[in-house]
Chain A
Amino acid sequence: MNRSYLEEIFPMFKNQSLIKPMLLLLCLTAMVKGYAQTSTLNPSKQDHHSLGLIIGSSALLGIEYAQPLNTKTWLRANLSFMDFNIRKWETNFNRYEQYATINLDIRNTSLSLLADYLVHPKLNLRLVTGLGFFLMNEFSGSVKLRDPLKINDIYFQPDELGYVYGGVRYNLRLNPYFGIALGRITHPKRRLAVSLDLGTYYKGAPEVFINGTAVIRNNEHNAEVLTNNMSGYRWYPVINLRLGYSIDPKDNP
């Protein structure tokens, strides 16, 4: 897989500036950790730093750094990479005679800072809150016919008939997060630990944009109606699986 293909599928690779905010987030985490150490009574047994990989609804792939503040509280910083394109997805949704070619562009990469509080040690249940910074916060796509369509004596090419394009954009870039987490961030006896995040980002009211070309042009007026209809859809569900690796050698042989 060469780099240009990666850039085509994952446009975020074009954006090298992501490294800077990531470093900033890690530094913030470290500062909070420094502050927390001064107020923790006996941090030595709990001071398990952890690196994690995340996959799920908000992360095609994410990396996370977690730092316990005390026996019940952790601080996590993650970069959840969720930028990708789907090209030429062909489907008839099992209900239409004609097949459609669908292109989708997902721009949902985020940098998040989360705080976990252990509320049920036996179940390893934590309450989680935090804030995500979404770089673009946009889902868009286009749909057109896959095959030429015969109208009377002409086989019209899909581009002649036109296509519909549109999407949903969230203008709020800083999105609060609320949720729960199950499982361990670190395990006292093992290096590997698994946990599951269930929660939601509050993204604010979405803004819909839509239009078409050729015979379905001039449909942009529907954007306002759809924006209004979708104004209640402000919560983005998160189901993420986290695989953590403890990086504390003395406590994790």
Chain B
Amino acid sequence: MKRLHLHNLRLNALLAVMVLGIFSCTNPEDLLNGTSVNVHNDFLINPMTIQVLNYDGGEVPKDISVSAYGPDKDHIFTVLGEKDLTVSYSDADQNAAFLSLAVRRITAFDEEDPLEFTLKFEAEGYMPVFRNFSLTDEDRTMQNIRMFPVSASNIDGMNKEEVSIAQSGNGTLELVSARTPASQNGQRISIEVAPNTRMMDQSGKSIAGNVEAHVISYDYTNRFISSLAPVSLFANNARSQSGEELGFLNFAPVAVYSIDMYGAEGEVKQFDQPIKVEVEIPAGTPHPETGALIKVGDELEAWSFNEGFGDWQEEGSAKIVSENGDKLIAHFEQTHLSTWFLGGRIFCRPSTRFLIQNSNQPKIGPQTYYFVEVVNTLNNNIVNTFSFTRFFDGEVITVIVPAQFQNAPAILQFNIYQYQEDATPLYTSPLFAPCGDQLIINLDDVLAPPPGLGTKFFVNVSGTCSAGFSNFVVRPTLPLQFRPSGATAWNPLGWLDAGEGASMALEKGRFYDFRIAYRTLDRCVFNLQVPTQDSTVIIESSVYQYGPSMPFSETIDVDYVDTDNDGFDETVFFNYTNINVPDQACQEYIDFLNAPIN
């Protein structure tokens, strides 16, 4: 090879360095001037929010702990990704606590493969509450549960008897019996503890000293009992007596009861000899397997809720005998305590499903939630309730109800109410069977708001943090709760998705409370009136401020618009997009996004 022009190459290299220098004079910060980064807080999806209330609307216990059970328990987190399911409390409203559940976006679940888990809510001095869940889609739902103090008196739907049991070194001193008052349909529960019965806790350790026993009969026909009862009446993965997994089961309970005993040394869970249980069966009760009326000599399955794995387990069967020639009594003996029912299992796959047609509520758009109860039309017993259902257009609702008996015909119907306390339903469905039915339900007319009402609220919320926080733009994804001012329980108003949300649940002129309860974020605003005309609302924050004596306030323009030209201004746009978010709030938001990143 011939000699190259090395001298020229050296000169060229020098020039190249100069040119590179010219073009590399770029200050990245100048390039980024004016940019802002949207960071969302929805690492996970939030398919369910649970509102925890006290049974009487009073203060909820502050020490509620939640444990997860069931086949999919490992998929359940808080919205911050914590396995420890922590409940959110508010100092401003101590009558309701919230648990926002989350699952990872990559966790797939649907009707064929639902997300099945059980949650146990515990607090000192309160009866534990177990709830089974079977989530089939990501559509957000909300459920209420109510905590019931061990020491509380009888309430509607729960018939309770308390008795003290004295013990010596050999166990109970004498025969002890207790019988609950009769429920509305005449059902009652009796127990009998034989003398010298030794009482033990879950681990088998003897519990000495006097014991307080609580026998409670649950009337599942009461519309409030589904939020108050200690267990759900279906199993995600029931077990046979030998422990074999039986999968999903619906139940047909004839009687549901729980027996709880507490001593100074702990909670009694088992005995060294069985205690006798008698359940008075109301006349005219159909047998869960045959549908024929229960008679002497029949047997009913006995099931207990196994608190070890959080689901139902078969325990044997109870025999029906006659007492005094006219009463039917189911006899059973049990050696451990829990919540029990006598009845039957119902193989209910596929479950009954409804396809909802409702032009008033598209899946994405202004939201309204309704209360639903399912009624057995043969005896007007309520067989299940659903706290918050949207009935959006195209929604497929799967109903899991305790059937009265196997292969029951179309004897059920559901009623839709605006609020749980309402007396008159907005809608009553056609009759349907508890299992395998499929109905198309058209709600176009029945859920259409009257002209001038049904105001649609569109909200757009975003705020910009100061330069000290990199001009972060905060576009929250959060559930919003509301309630008419003066009420106790909160209702879902809707979800803000990246700062945008819509609702149809508010009425012009009414006063409401609003609350955000999302793990570490918990804020309340009380007694706000929905303006009846175009106006400006100023909300001053009691939490945030721009600086000393400079409270943070939001000025919200409320603009009514008659979008469909029917003469009523029924659409309202709330735009909160020019908020200069106080540093304290930005820090909280960043802490929320980061915290606690390990």
Where the two chains meet, the residues of A that have a C-beta atom closer than 8 Å to any C-beta of B are: 123-124, 149-154, 156-157, 159-161, 180, 182-184, 190-196, 198, 214-219, 221-222, 225-226, 228-230, 233, 235, 237, 239, 241
Proximity string of chain B (34-60) to chain A, C-beta cutoff 8 Å, 1 when within and 0 when not: 111111111110000000000000000
* A182–chain B nearest beta-carbon distance, Å: 5
Q: Contact between A216 and B40 (Cβ–Cβ < 8 Å)?
A: yes
20 pairs, CB–CB < 8 Å, chain A vs chain B = A123-B11, A150-B598, A152-B77, A152-B597, A152-B598, A153-B77, A154-B43, A154-B77, A154-B81, A156-B43, A180-B15, A184-B5, A194-B9, A196-B16, A198-B19, A221-B36, A221-B38, A233-B26, A239-B16, A241-B12
Proximity string of chain B (1-44) to chain A, C-beta cutoff 8 Å, 1 when within and 0 when not: 11011001101100110011011001000111111111111111
* A90–chain B nearest beta-carbon distance, Å: 21
* B319–chain A nearest beta-carbon distance, Å: 49
Q: Contact between A222 and B35 (Cβ–Cβ < 8 Å)?
A: yes
* B376–chain A nearest beta-carbon distance, Å: 43
A153-B82, A237-B19 given; 20 more Cβ-contact pairs under 8 Å: A123-B8, A124-B5, A151-B598, A152-B83, A152-B596, A154-B104, A160-B105, A182-B12, A190-B2, A192-B1, A192-B4, A193-B5, A196-B15, A214-B40, A216-B38, A221-B38, A222-B35, A222-B37, A225-B33, A226-B31
- Which residue in B36, B77, B104 is a CB contact (below 8 Å) of A222? B36
* B220–chain A nearest beta-carbon distance, Å: 36
Q: Contact between B2 and A182 (Cβ–Cβ < 8 Å)?
A: no
With A151-B43, A156-B43, A194-B8 already in contact, the answer to whether A219 and B37 are too (CB < 8 A) is yes
Interface SS, A side: mixed
Q: Kindly state whether residue B329 has any CB partner on chain A within 8 Å.
A: no
Q: Kindly state whether residue B456 has any CB partner on chain A within 8 Å.
A: no
Contacts of A196 in B (CB 8 A): 8-9, 12, 15-16
- Which residue in B8, B35, B83 is a CB contact (below 8 Å) of A183? B8
Closest to A182 in B: B12
* B125–chain A nearest beta-carbon distance, Å: 29
Q: Kindly state whether residue B475 has any CB partner on chain A within 8 Å.
A: yes
Q: Contact between A217 and B81 (Cβ–Cβ < 8 Å)?
A: no
Q: Kindly state whether residue B498 has any CB partner on chain A within 8 Å.
A: yes
Interface SS, B side: loop
Q: Contact between A225 and B81 (Cβ–Cβ < 8 Å)?
A: no
A160 to B41, CA, bound (A): 13
A149 to B9, CA, bound (A): 49
Q: Kindly state whether residue B106 has any CB partner on chain A within 8 Å.
A: yes
A133 to B38, CA, bound (A): 38
Q: Kindly state whether residue B193 has any CB partner on chain A within 8 Å.
A: no
Contacts of B597 in A (CB 8 A): 149-152
A156 to B596, CA, bound (A): 14
Q: Contact between B34 and A229 (Cβ–Cβ < 8 Å)?
A: yes
Contacts of A216 in B (CB 8 A): 37-40
- Which residue in A153, A195, A217, A241 is a CB contact (below 8 Å) of B83? A153
A215 to B78, CA, bound (A): 17
Contacts of B81 in A (CB 8 A): 151-154, 156
Proximity string of chain B (191-220) to chain A, C-beta cutoff 8 Å, 1 when within and 0 when not: 000000000000000000000000000000
Contacts of B11 in A (CB 8 A): 123, 182
* B194–chain A nearest beta-carbon distance, Å: 47
* B80–chain A nearest beta-carbon distance, Å: 6
With A152-B80, A160-B106 already in contact, the answer to whether A215 and B598 are too (CB < 8 A) is no
Contacts of A194 in B (CB 8 A): 4-5, 8-9
A210 to B41, CA, bound (A): 20
* A106–chain B nearest beta-carbon distance, Å: 16
With A198-B12, A225-B35 already in contact, the answer to whether A235 and B5 are too (CB < 8 A) is no
Contacts of A154 in B (CB 8 A): 43-44, 77, 81, 104
* A241–chain B nearest beta-carbon distance, Å: 8
Contacts of B30 in A (CB 8 A): 229
Contacts of B44 in A (CB 8 A): 154
Q: Contact between B40 and A218 (Cβ–Cβ < 8 Å)?
A: yes
Closest to A229 in B: B31
Contacts of B5 in A (CB 8 A): 124, 183-184, 193-194
With A153-B82, A198-B12, A237-B19 already in contact, the answer to whether A161 and B43 are too (CB < 8 A) is yes
Q: List the 7 closest A-B pairs by CB distance, nearest first.
A: A196-B12, A152-B81, A154-B81, A153-B83, A237-B23, A225-B34, A222-B35
* A189–chain B nearest beta-carbon distance, Å: 8
A226 to B36, CA, bound (A): 11
